[in-house]
Each structure stands twice: as structure tokens, then as C-alpha cells.
Amino acid sequence: MYRKLLVVVIGILAVSLVGCGGGGGGGGPIILPPPGNGNGGDGNGVDVDQLVEDSIDALQDGNGALAATGFEQALAADPNNADANFGVAFVELMREANSLVQFLSAQNDAVFRNVTMLAVQPLLSPVPEQQGMLNLNRFMSQDDNGVEVDDMSLEEIRLEVVRLVDALESIGSYMDRVIKYGGDEWSFTVPEDWNDPDAGDITIWCRDVQVLAAALKFTIGILHFSAAYSGGSLGLAEDEWGYIEITGLTGEPVDPVDTNEDCFIDFAEIADAAALPADALVLAVDGREHLSAFVASWHRSFELLRDAINSYVAADALVGHWAFDMTREDSDSFVEKWNSYGSDYLNDLIGTWTSNGATLRVRAGLLDENPNLEDNPGLDFEVEASFAAFFSNLPDDFRGFPVRFICVEDEWGDIQYELPSQVNQAFTDDTLLGLFPDGLTQEQYDTIFGRDT
């Protein structure tokens, strides 16, 4: 259930709202109402309600460009109008859908392949502007779509990610205003599939926007983290057989060796063995800001998720919901678990994304369902954790990350790299950059990392 809540944005983008694509045209121009002070007017001759209604009609007709114009005019007259804010957020999200899906879908799964034929096709960026993000597919997997791209540097990819995250942050601000000003009874109706008029409509409530905003913030966080460190002079190129290769290496990659003779392999030795140039794996100029934004984004994402679940539970809105479609039995079971322990654990998770951190422990409600937890990690197991501190304290050069490995030969004679059995050997900093503020004990290390003393 939690996973479905987190990834529902992808379902909304690729299945429910986009459907099988959509025509670009449709609908006539939005006819602005004559000056006056009708219901919903702002007192300056603009009938905001009528403007929003005309914009929704244009959106449902598949004319995203005209819908955007109307929604933006409505926002100019009433910046807090929930309908107009959601309308702009929806259109802008579709505008960035190609880039977002390319980033999230390494394999470009079939469900995503028609995103270039959105109902808001007139708003999509010109092909040359999209090409940069299409190249990201090469960074994550071999390109098998026949897209011809120029060689590019990892820094070019990073800058395109920065552009994308800026656009998504703007969309998130519109959703924030929907959540703030829409209220529990606010709703917005859209066609389930623009290509199939008989498919009916779906109604998006404020709690759905909270889930959408949570997933968006989660994605924005991933983008921020991916933009924090620079690839330096590394790049990507396509060889004569169509395979992707990394350029800019200082030599031929080899297996890591213990060059400082401390009997361990650290990240610096791994980077040297990989022939990475000195300017790779270092914080970008704006890297520290991206790390801070990553922490803030995930903290807010989990808060929104918690608030959305509480709203679904309070409204008994999970049964028959268009995205979750739970049965009564499933819903009752989920609500019981949520009230028993789920809410507490999510609040713990939220706490770990603050500088003070939170105490993680096994609760009775979860233990009733998973009695094996009594043995592992055990009823008395608890640990203080702060992801906020950890990511805020990441080193300027990732080669300095305070972890070390040992070489272990497996049954086939191959060398594997594992954490050592002793916590003070594995981590040169027992707080692991503040992730464990009280310092990690050997017992905690054994439990969390599955090591035997």
C-alpha cells in the first residue's frame, strides 16, 4: 500500500490521466467573459470562475495550450484559486512528462512509450530541446530506441537534471497552494482517457493531490541528489557497435588494491582502480544546496504521504478509489494496521529526516503480525538515526566516505568486497557522518548490516 501511494504519480502520468495519449487539437479558443462582477469575479472585471470553467473545458477537449492560457489568467486574478493552481500544475507536469519519464524509466517500458502523444501535445518542448534529456537514457541503459544522439559529458547531463528539477519545483509550488487553499471538499474532474470518451471521468480530491505532491517531492529529491555530485571530465560516447562507453578515464579500470597497506579497500582506492579523474565524484559548485534540498524534499514527501493517508482513513475513501480500488476487507485491514503501528513508523521515518533524528524500534502491533522480529532484531533493539545529518555531512569528495571493505574469495575463486566484522574496522567514523548520532555499537552494527562477530 505504501509503495502504491508513493508511485501513484507514475500511474497518474502514464495510465490514468494520459491514457493512451491524446490528440493535440480539439476545442475552440477559450472565450474570455466580458468585464463584469459576476459570481467568482475578482472585482476588477475578471470572472475567475468562468475563466477556470472555460479552461477545464479546453483541457478536457485536449487543447492544453489554451487551457494553460486560461488557468494562468485566472491565477493572475486570484493566485490562491485551487482549480487554477491545479490546472497549471497539471499542464506543466505534462509539459515535463517526457523528461521525467526518461529519467525514471531506464528501460523505457512500453507503458511509457506514448508519452510524446499527450493530450497537451501543443505544449511539449520542441524536439531539439527534448533531445538532451532523451540522452539520459544512455546514462542508465543501452539505447535501443534508435535515437541518434551526440556524445555528451556527465556535466551536461547534470545540468539538464538541474533544469528539470527547477521545473518540477515550480509545479510543486502550485500543488502546495491547492493543498493549502483547496480544503477537504475540493475536487477536480478529468477524463480517464482522452482517446476513449466512454471511459468516464475520474475525480481528484485534495488528498489525491497530497499523494501526487508527495510522489513529486520524492522524485524531486532523487533529482537533487543526482545533481549534487559532478562527473567532472567524464562523458558518454557510443562505440562503433552501438554500445555506450565512458570517456575521460585516466587509464584502464582494474580491480581495487590496498595501496595504502592498511588491509582494507576504501572508496579512494576504488576510485583509483576505476581510473576516475580527480574531478569526478566531487561536489558540484551548487552541490551542497542540492543535498540540503534533497533532505527537505524527502522530509516533506513523507509528511504529505502521512497527511494523505490520514485523510483517506478519515474519509473512508480507499474502497473503490480509482487509483487504489481496495475492497472493504482490504481497506479495513489497512486501516487497522495503520492505526496500530503504520502511522507510528511513518512518523519515525519523518523524524529521521530532521537534524534531531528519531528512535527506531520494534512496536507491538508489528510484532503481532511478524513474531520473528522478537528474535531479529529483538524486542529491546533500538537505534537513533538521522538521515538529515548523514546527507548534510556527505564529504566534498566522495572518496572520503568513511567506509572500508575487505577482500573475500568466494567458492569460485572470485574476489568479493564485504564489510568487515568489526564496526570500528568498517567505519572510520562510528556515527557514519551523523546517521547514528550516538555512535553505532557492535550489536547494532551486527543487526543492521547482517554481520557476525
**The domain containing residue 153 runs over which residues?**
2-230
Given this model, what pLDDT does residue 148 score?
44
Query: Between 377 and 115, where is the model more confident?
Result: 377
CA–CA gap between residue 256 and residue 103 (Å, rounded): 30
For residue 247, being part of any structural domain is answered with no
**Cβ-count burial of 309 within 10 angstroms (0-12 exposed, 13-18 middle, 19+ buried)?**
buried
Given this model, what pLDDT does residue 97 score?
64
Average pLDDT, the chain: 77
For residue 398, being part of any structural domain is answered with no
In three-state secondary structure terms, 407 is strand
For residue 243, being part of any structural domain is answered with no
The count of domains in the chain is 1
Band of residue 3 on the pLDDT scale cut at 50, 70, 90: very low
Place of cell 490562491: 80
Q: Would you list the DSSP string of 381-402?
A: -EEEE-HHHHHHT--SBGGG-S
CB 326 within 8 A of CB 314: no
For residue 191, being part of any structural domain is answered with yes
Q: Tens of pLDDT along 244-269?
A: 788 899 999 888 888 888 889 998 99
**Mean pLDDT of the region 268-294:** 94
Band of residue 60 on the pLDDT scale cut at 50, 70, 90: confident
Q: Whole-prediction pTM value?
A: 0.78
For residue 199, being part of any structural domain is answered with yes
φ, ψ of residue 415 to 5 degrees: the values are -90, 125
**Mean pLDDT of the region 214-232:** 91
In three-state secondary structure terms, 137 is helix
CA–CA gap between residue 52 and residue 44 (Å, rounded): 16
Query: Between 134 and 60, where is the model more confident?
Result: 60
For residue 445, being part of any structural domain is answered with no
Q: Would you list the DSSP string of 39-86?
A: TTB-SSS-BHHHHHHHHHHHHHTT-HHHHHHHHHHHHHH-TT-HHHHH
For residue 256, being part of any structural domain is answered with no
For residue 258, being part of any structural domain is answered with no
